[in-house]
Structure 1
Amino acid sequence: MPTPTVDALSDPVIGVDPQGILRYGNERAMEVLGWDTNILGTSVLDLIHPDDMNIVVSSMSTVLDKSFGQLLRIRARHSRGMWVHLELRGSVQTVDGDDLIVLVARDTTDRHQLDFDQGDVDVLRSVMDNMHGMVALMTEDGRVRSINGAVTRLLGHDPELIRNQPFVKFLHEDDREEILDIVQALAPASTVNFDARLRDANGTHHVCEFTVNNLLDDPIVGNYIVSAQIATSLADARNLADFLAEHDNRTGLLNRDGFMRAARDLMADGGGLGLMIIDIVQFRSINELYGEPVGDAVLTAVAQRIGQISWPDLLTARFGGDEFVMAVRSSTEASIAMLRERVRRDVARSIAVDEHEVNFAIRTATSFEAQPQGLDSLLVRASNELMSIKRNADPESGGISFDAINQRRAQLDQLRAALNNGEIQPFYQPIVDVDGNVRAVEALVRWVHPVRGVLGVGEILPLAQMAGLAESVDERVLEMALAFAARLEAAGHGTVEVHVNVDPKVIASPAFGPSFLERCQTAGTNPSQMVVEITETDLLAPGATSLSNMDKLRRAGTHVSIDDFGTGYSSLAHLLELPVDGVKIDRRFVAGIDIDPAATNLTTAILGLSDSLKLTCVAEGVEQPYQRDRLAERGCSLFQGWLFAPATHGDEVLQMLPRISPTIDDDARAPSP
């Protein structure tokens, strides 16, 4: 391409192939931009200011559709890193058989600076091109006169190709007639706002908020000014509002208004119509017995199961509370009867909530008309049938008996009262060495019931979870265990550690580590006297927060131990990855010593690995002397179980110290609580 004439031009001349690769630059171009020949062969897009990229890409992609390019104002990178302002115009020329985009440029850097200083009109043009909102001038006959840079940046339209095109051409075809009427009715010097869908260069439509000013009578402007911004989030919000107007926000099923509209449409199509009302038996009692979170879970399960039923011409809705309604178009009553059996089979199944199985039952009532005259009469008939079922205690209304509900409700009330009056407290089971010296105690929750005696965790935990009091129970045990540790130290037994069990959800809380140490300080407890036990299954995939809390505790001297080790189906090598100080061998493996080869082998492996990793290892559930002896032979040095002592009140533990002797009697053979 280079010729002596082109090389001698006083303006920069640049040659770019259709792929945007720089193929030529005359001497003036090299001088203005500080380039050398090494720049050839690179992409011209690497040299363009980011804010000008869209207009350059758009112009290059459409250059073949134009006889001669429009004047562009862009910024190109100088070799010294500054930006050079150029005005350039291009056209496609064939050079040596290849198409080449030839750009003749003019350096306007100095003029641009002068214009900026003097407030020239080019400054306003630059502001318009770089503003975020889209702006266009539209002539009186509805054609695009010009657009600002935002239209190209956001929608990809080439300003040269969009010029003189009908504005409505870029609107969604369903919006054109309405918008045209709005603009034509706009009085001079007036403004109108509306929403419409605007097409981008790829054919995709975007919901936009428009403002149109009629300045046709303005002697300078003489056009409509159209400004717009993409409002996809607004459209999403409006779509959501439209959805919620006819749908239940908790379950996603139709609400009453949506159901009535859809059912009338279904009825208008002709044929018979059947309705069914579904009611959850004693739903209020479920809420009172298990708590509202469980009630919400039951509602969600019923809604999901109803929504998953595949049936021709079926509508499903929630009218509120625990009342669900279905409508089906059918020529015979048999169809609604079959649907009723399907609902009974698929919906009334138990659900698992927080590892507990929750059972519930449903009632159903139906109505049918071969030639329905209205929905209200069908709903009234189904509602009357449902009321009759409730009064007559239909067998399908079985479930939790009122006596059971009242009994459980009384137990929940008693548990709440027990927390308030101090009946919920920890008992402490000693952890001893082979000689019977007490090395530690474990805090185990007990309910000192005024009538039923001392109740264990099996009686307390299910009730606490139903009442939403599990966290309060754990807090009470921890608070009293910390105080007992301080008592031990004051009595001269500061080396006796106190083990406490911590729920995995609690240790995963960012505040747990600092809170635990603050509570130690408040109770006057040495953190190094405490051992936090976490069940192994909760540590198979500990989160970053849990690991961080474990590290915080260990740095403060508190030990971390894995409880029930061997039950989590993890490899023994899992110990290498966790910041822990000890493990507890689960009582099931202790019971299998010399009886179950697998339990014996696993116990031996745990003891061996614990010794090699310098971890403390406690065998729990030791009830017989031979179990202690076999464990000791395999290297176990700490034991916990009824062979030595059951869990007992803190005052009695203090009387046992420093050493207790193993005893064997009928009570000692009872399983550890």
Structure 2
Amino acid sequence: MTFDLSKESSPAQHPPGPSRRLANVADASPVPLIPSITKLGDPVFAINTSGVLRYANDRATEVLGWDSVAVIGESVLPLVHPDDLNLVAASMETATGKSYGQLLRIRARHGRGTWVNLELRSAMQKSEDSEDGEDLIVIVARDTTDRHHLDFDQGDVDMLRSVMNNMHGMVTLLSGDGHVRSVNGAVTRLLGHDPELMRSEPFISYLHSDDRDRFLDQVHAIPANASADFEVRLRSSDGGHHVCELSVNNLLDDPVVKGYIVSGRIASALVDARERVDFLALHDNRTGLLNRDGFMQSARAMMADGGGLGVLVIDIVNFRSINELYGEPVGDAVIFAVAERIENVRWTDLITARFGGDEFVVAVRSSNAATIEMLHERVRREVGQTIILEDHEVNFAIRTATAFDATPKALDSLLVSASNKLMSIKRNTHSESGGISFDAINERRLQLDQLRASLSNGEIQPFFQPIVDVQGTVTAVEALVRWVHPVRGVLGVGEILPLARMAGLAEAVDDRVLELALQFAHRLDQAGHGHIDVHVNVDPKVIASPSFGHSFLNRCAHHKARTEQMVVEITETDLLAPSAISLSNMNKLRRAGTHVSIDDFGTGYSSLVHLLELPVDGVKIDRRFVAGIDIDAAATNLTTAIVGLSESLRITCVAEGVEQPYQRDRLFELGCQAFQGWLFSHAVPPDELLTMLPNITPTLSDDEPRPVPLRS
């Protein structure tokens, strides 16, 4: 086969559209448009180049069921079947470049809402009766609906044509010399080309010029009745190119096809994957800085351009101890902070990289050693600063060393020189800790060991803090994790969770609390307090697990806890962008009778909007807003809005952190019906809680008058 490129350099010349008459459409005499076609037996209509209907004869309104008065002046494009719309749009865009249109088969909406099968042929004409002299596309149609139904019942031709036009992959049939014979609808949908203009054109004219010779060589090598796969760039109608995966099947010996079938798809996912692989090959996948290979490549290119080169190496003092003291998540945060700060150093011709662990390298073009020393001082000043994580300060320090060569010959020697200086600094610095106490590290190691042991010996357990109504009657309790330490006494969540995260035990702690909370819910029920709900906090990573909903309900059944007695609390900030799995689990729990509540409500972005959108049964007003009531206007206003919206949505609203009688009374005035806080009780062990039921008297000083019930 030889692909002919002659047409690419000498495109067919089409007479200008406006000068064409109706004679080009239906062999009619070149007379004015409207009078000559009114009585034709086939539907005839005219649209402008935007698709607005300017004329339709009587047969068109009869076949299509259109109201001729209503549709004149309206776009016909909404009446075209969505699967055919790209084909029609492409044909319209190229109408002025064709003497007359090729036969199109489309579906149009009938006035009754059904689809009519039409064969169309069109031509451009200047409408002599149009006031503005606009160019019109005159279309002669034929109703093939009955024939389509007959063919569909008795043969496969139209069915196969429909399948070809609606499949996602592009299919092109080529003649033996490589010219386009036909294309399916996907070619138009994906690349935008008008199939009429593609016919008889060389296929390789749609390939990127750099891909043509390679494509031809490979196609010529395909044996008869065999196929081969290619990756090429295909031109779209807007002049851009898309990377495509093509499969070419050699059917020259087939008595029917006598050519080639080219099928393919746009390989955007492949391109993205390759770009990602290329990026990762030269970049650190944790920080995004260059890795060793990327640094060496970039620095050598800089050396090739001439000039001096300075190298700065950086490491974090006692980084291993940071991980041991604070945990790996904090260690990762320190790495990210150092990487970001190095990257943000604005300097001409600067290359930044992470070689691994806590080792960073910077290279800069410089004509003298003074430049690298200035950069050195700036890095030392800006990079080794304290970072704030979850309201905690994490102190760390960095070590740095430099090397400079005005006429560098080997990059490796510069790196070795700087690294040796850094090692010398380490050896000559006594007991560097980067601001971290070794006693603190040892103490933290001991605490981690004790926490691991506490899970197995029963020291980790939930205490329960009551939630009361306006009468002081306990309506619910919240399970709060406590560590009953044999030496240090009862430790709260602030002592436990940071350690648990460092030791990788956070999920185990949560599981332990949930298990004991479910057991206590059954115990309450058995004691005649089944109306008291039990609140448990669930980590967002857990609720985002596909198995959480099923697992939670199974555990309720195992511990004989009634699902309708349980309330799952999720922190609001964790629900800013809930996943589909999280929402599915929340709905699954609610269908089983378990309530879902938002904890610490009011702290997130657009809190009230979330209350309208999320599948929840209640909210707990964050203690910071309760503390600020009547003190901070913003806190008071937001609390008022939360209470009001909760009442409107008929969901429960609990005020957390109620410590003073005036807070309780003011919240009640605003409409809040449930309270939790030290005014009523601290979190207490389960046995102690049972003795406190059913009512709890607020904890007041001896000289403070006892409040009467707020509502009878």
- Bucket of the pairwise TM-score, normalised by the shorter protein: 0.7 to 0.9
- Asked if the contact 2:600–2:621 (Cα under 8 Å) also holds between the matched residues in 1, the reply is no
Q: Which residue of 1 aligns with 2:43?
A: 12
Residue 577 of structure 1: aligned partner? 645
The alpha-carbon distance between structure 1 residues 550 and 395, as it changes in their structure 2 partners (threshold 3 A), is: same
Question: Where does residue 441 of structure 2 map in the other structure?
Answer: 405
In structure 1, distance between residues paired with 2:199 and 2:625:
76
Secondary structure of residue in 1 paired with 2:400 = strand
Q: CA deviation at 1:160?
A: 2.5
Contact 1:533 1:561 in 2 (8 A): no
Counterpart of 1:566 in structure 2: which amino acid? Answer: V
Give the whole-Å Cα distance in 2 for the aligned partners of 1:277 and 1:332. Answer: 18
TM-score normalized with structure 2 length: 0.72
Structure 2 residue 322 is matched with structure 1 residue 286: yes
1:221 corresponds to: 257
Q: How far off is 1:208 after superposition? A: 0.9
1:522 match: 559
Partner deviation per Cα, 1:148-204 (whole Å, 9 max, x = no partner) = 332222222112222333433322344344334434555555533211221221223
Q: Does 1:610 align with 2:668?
A: yes
The answer to whether the 8 A contact 2:538-2:568 is kept is: no
User: Does structure 1 residue 358 correspond to structure 2 residue 394?
Assistant: yes
CA contact (8 A) 1:501 1:534 kept: no
Deviation of the 1:247 alpha carbon? 1.5
In terms of mean alpha carbon deviation, does 41-50 or 282-291 score higher? 41-50
| Structure-1 residue corresponding to 2:139 | 103
Identity of aligned residues (%): 57
Greater shift in the superposed pair: 316-325 or 539-548: 539-548
- Paired with 2:553 and 2:140, the residues of 1 have a C-alpha distance of 74
**Partner residue of 1:538?**
600
Change (3 A) 1:51 1:402: same
**2:99 corresponds to which of 29, 42, 67:** 67
Deviation, structure 1 residue 131: 3.4
Residues of 1 paired with 2:115 and 2:564: CA distance? Answer: 63
The code of the aligned residue for 1:420 comes to: S
Q: Secondary structure at the match of 2:99?
A: coil
1:158 to 194, 209, 220: 194
- Corresponding position of 1:384: 420
Residue 121 and residue 537 in structure 1: after superposition, are their counterparts in 2 closer, same or farther (change >3 A)?
A: closer
1:59 partner letter: S
Question: For residues 265-290 of structure 1, what are the alpha-carbon distances to aligned partners after superposition, in whole Å with 9 as ceiling and x for unaligned?
Answer: 11111122222222222222222222
Alignment-mate amino acid for residue 370 of structure 1: A
| Cα 1:373/1:458, change in 2 over 3 Å | same
The one of 155, 167, 181 equivalent to 1:131 is 167
Q: Partner letter of residue 61 of structure 1? A: E
**What secondary structure sits across from 1:238 in the alignment?**
helix
CA contact (8 A) 1:584 1:620 kept: no
Deviations for 1:365-413, whole angstroms, at most 9, x for unmatched residues? 3222222222222222222222222222368763313333112211222
User: Matches of residues 285-364 of structure 1 in structure 2 within 5 Å?
Assistant: 285-364=321-400
Sort the Cα spacing of 1:47 and 1:469 in 2 relative to 1 into closer, same or farther, 3 A.
closer
Q: Does 1:170 align with 2:206?
A: yes
Q: How far apart are the structure 2 equivalents of 1:173 and 1:167?
A: 12
- What TM-score, normalized to structure 1? 0.76
Residue 624 of structure 1: aligned partner: none
Distance verdict in 2 for CA 1:538–1:663, change over 3 Å: closer
1:507 Cα shift? 11
The separation in 1 between residues aligned to 2:561 and 2:504, in whole angstroms, is 30
Deviating more after overlay: 316-325 vs 136-145: 136-145
SS at match of 1:327: strand
1:270 aligned residue (283, 295, 306): 306
Decide whether aligned partners of structure 1 residues 529 and 561 sit closer, same or farther in structure 2, where only a CA change above 3 A counts.
farther
Amino acid at match of 2:330: V
Q: Structure 1 residues 267-276 or 71-80, which shifts more? A: 71-80
Give yes or no for contact 1:48–1:74 (8 Å, CA) kept in 2.
yes
How big is the shift at 1:476? 5.3
Q: In structure 2, what is the equivalent of residue 209 of structure 1?
A: 245
Asked whether 1:57 is paired with 2:119, we answer no
Task: Choose 150-159 or 171-180, whichever is displaced more.
Answer: 171-180
Counterparts of 2:328 and 2:95, CA distance in 1: 66
Counterpart for residue 627 of structure 1? none
One-letter code aligned to 1:538: D
Counterpart of 1:132 in 2: which secondary structure?
Answer: coil
Contact 2:627 2:657 in 1 (8 A): no
User: Which residue identity lines up with residue 19 of structure 1 in the other structure?
Assistant: S
1:24 to 30, 55, 65: 55
Residue by residue over 1:447-474, the C-alpha shift from the partner in whole angstroms, topping out at 9 and shown as x without a partner, is 5544455656665565455445566556
Matched with 2:115 is 83
Contact 1:506–1:512 (CA<8 Å) still a contact in 2? no
- Structure 2 contact 522–559 (Cα < 8 Å) conserved: no
SS of the residue 1:198 aligns to: strand
Which of 226, 240, 243 is the matching residue for 2:279?
243
CA contact (8 A) 1:496 1:529 kept: no
Which residue matches 2:29? none
Q: Give the distance between the partners of 1:473 and 1:31, measured in 2 at CA.
A: 75
1:467-498 deviations in Å (ceiling 9; x for gaps): 455665566567667777888999x9969989
Q: What is the root-mean-square deviation in Å for CA atoms of aligned residues?
A: 4.7
Offset from partner CA, 1:296-341 (integer Å, 9 cap, x none): 2222222222222222222222222222222222222222222222
1:277–1:325 CA contact under 8 A, matched in 2:
yes
> Contact between 2:534 and 2:565, CA under 8 Å: does it hold in 1?
no
The one-letter amino acid of 1:57's match is A
Closer/same/farther in 2, CA of residues 425 and 189 from structure 1, 3 Å limit: closer
Q: List gaps (5 residues or longer) in structure 2.
A: 1-31, 573-597, 629-634, 703-712
Change (3 A) 1:499 1:546: farther
Aligned to 1:538, the other structure's residue is in SS state strand
User: Distance in 1 between the 2:490 and 2:148 partners?
Assistant: 90
The separation in 2 between residues aligned to 1:359 and 1:561, in whole angstroms, is 34
Q: Which residue of 1 aligns with 2:627?
A: 567
Distance 1:116 1:449, change over 3 A: closer
**CA distance 1:71–1:310, change in 2 (3 Å):** same
Counterpart secondary structure, 1:352: strand
* Secondary structure at 1:75 match in 2: strand
5 Å-filtered alignment, 1:425-440, equals: none
SS of the counterpart of 1:566?
helix
The Cα of 1:209 is off from its aligned counterpart by 0.8
| Distance (Å, rounded) in 2 between the aligned partners of 1:442 and 1:89 | 75
